[in-house]
């Protein structure tokens, strides 16, 4: 199903490229746009994960540099029956994480330094398991390809905005659809964001929450983590996400600052409260011990040593 969804997304974005090429340069422009769209699709399919990781300045870790974190990811991946993904660290105080890659054999999990500083071992296991569920469900292919192509369309719109005179000045003034073409180009960035929203259903987060609970064995770990992350992420901006807002759907919670702008216009994540409620319902169905109460204002947690997956506690 995800492959079909990705194919439909690529077809829609290719059609947008072709339409813009037709309006700006006629039939010749459409041909050029189709060629560029084909190149962009191939690039996004094979290299979008590397591009997204580069956008967020994620650096790879090894068993030697972060042995506890790497071991935790490897053990959870083994429990999920999948290869160990590459592990990356983002030097940001905002607690957050995302997964990327076209399939489980070519996947990566990236976490921020703020996430490691905030969460305990159980909570971190819940977050990593959630990201592994995205990889196992192959959500990462759709999300990463969509983010990459949306970024390309945004860059194209900005280029036409700043250099539009090259297309519509002088001898191109007689083009009957010149102004319309420019306006359509400038609308492509929010339209691409809409396509991301349509291609990546909000229900994928609920499915990944459930899948992560199955992998780590305890939905309460992720419920506690989501509550902490939501409280801390709002006051700690992620600069790279602000530069590349099209990647916001990749993260476990919305990384964009504030309640306005794209964060309010395109809700790519379901409410955290609803996600926590479903996880608590799942825990009750599994007869697990209810979570300990969380204070209204959390004190910063000290960095923990992460190692083996902690045992599940049942009531």
pLDDT band with cut points at 50, 70 and 90 for residue 139:
confident
pLDDT band with cut points at 50, 70 and 90 for residue 310:
low
Active-site residue, selected from the candidate residues 66, 122, 131, 205: 131
Tell me which residue of 135, 132, 136, 153 sits closest to 144, measured CA to CA. Answer: 135
Return the pLDDT at 169.
46
The structural domains of the chain, with segments of one domain joined by +, span: 2-54+141-199, 75-136+202-285
pLDDT over 80 at 75, yes or no:
yes
* Mean pLDDT, rounded, for 111-139: 95
Q: Which CATH number fits domain 75-136+202-285: 3.30.2010.10, 2.40.110.10, 3.30.70.2860, 3.40.50.150?
A: 3.30.2010.10
Distance CA 218, CA 125 (A): 9
Q: Answer whether 218's CB lies under 8 Å from 289's CB.
A: no
pLDDT over 60 at 259, yes or no:
no
**Which of 126-140, 179-193, 214-228 has the lowest average pLDDT?**
179-193
**Which carries the bigger pLDDT value, residue 268 or residue 76?**
76
Q: How far is CA 46 from CA 99, 110, 125, 243, in A?
A: 15, 18, 29, 23
pLDDT over 60 at 2, yes or no:
no
* Mean pLDDT, rounded, for 183-195: 61
Return the pLDDT at 295.
39
- pTM over 0.85? The answer is no
Distance CA 129, CA 111 (A): 12
* Mean pLDDT, rounded, for 23-48: 71
Query: Quick check: is 242 catalytic?
Result: no
What's the pLDDT tens digit per position in 270-308? 889 999 999 999 999 988 765 444 433 343 444 444 556
Q: Answer whether 199's CB lies under 8 Å from 146's CB.
A: yes
What's the pLDDT tens digit per position in 91-104? 999 999 999 988 89
Return the pLDDT at 209.
96
The token pair at 232 is 């801390």
Return the pLDDT at 17.
67
């Amino acid at each position: 199903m995800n492959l079909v969804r990705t194919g439909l997304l690529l077809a829609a974005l290719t059609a947008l490229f072709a339409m813009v090429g037709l309006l700006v340069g006629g039939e010749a422009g459409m041909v050029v746009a189709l060629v560029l769209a084909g190149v962009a699709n191939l690039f996004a399919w094979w290299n979008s994960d590397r591009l997204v990781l580069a956008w967020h300045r994620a650096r790879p870790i090894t068993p030697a540099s972060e042995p506890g974190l790497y071991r935790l990811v490897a053990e959870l991946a083994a429990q999920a029956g999948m290869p160990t993904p590459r592990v990356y660290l983002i030097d940001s105080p905002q607690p957050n994480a995302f997964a990327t890659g076209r399939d489980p054999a070519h996947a990566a999990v990236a976490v921020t330094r703020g996430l490691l500083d905030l969460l305990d071992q159980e909570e971190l296991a819940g977050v990593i398991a959630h990201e592994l569920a995205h990889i196992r469900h192959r959500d990462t292919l759709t999300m990463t390809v969509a983010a990459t192509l949306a970024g390309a369309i945004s860059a194209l719109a900005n280029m036409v905005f700043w250099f539009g005179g090259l297309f519509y000045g002088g001898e191109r003034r007689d083009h009957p659809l010149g102004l319309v073409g420019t306006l359509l180009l400038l609308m492509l960035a929010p339209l691409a964001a809409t396509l991301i929203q349509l291609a990546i259903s909000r229900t994928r987060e609920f499915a990944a929450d459930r899948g992560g609970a199955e992998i780590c064995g305890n939905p309460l770990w992720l419920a506690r983590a989501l509550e902490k992350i939501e409280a801390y992420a709002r006051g700690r901006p992620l600069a790279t996400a602000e530069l590349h807002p099209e990647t916001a759907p990749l993260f476990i919670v919305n990384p964009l600052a504030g309640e306005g702008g794209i964060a309010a216009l395109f809700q790519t994540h379901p409410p955290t409260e609803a996600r926590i409620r479903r996880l608590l319902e799942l825990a009750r169905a599994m007869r697990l011990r209810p979570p300990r109460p969380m204070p209204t204002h959390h004190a910063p947690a000290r960095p923990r040593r992460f190692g083996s997956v902690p045992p599940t506690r049942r009531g």
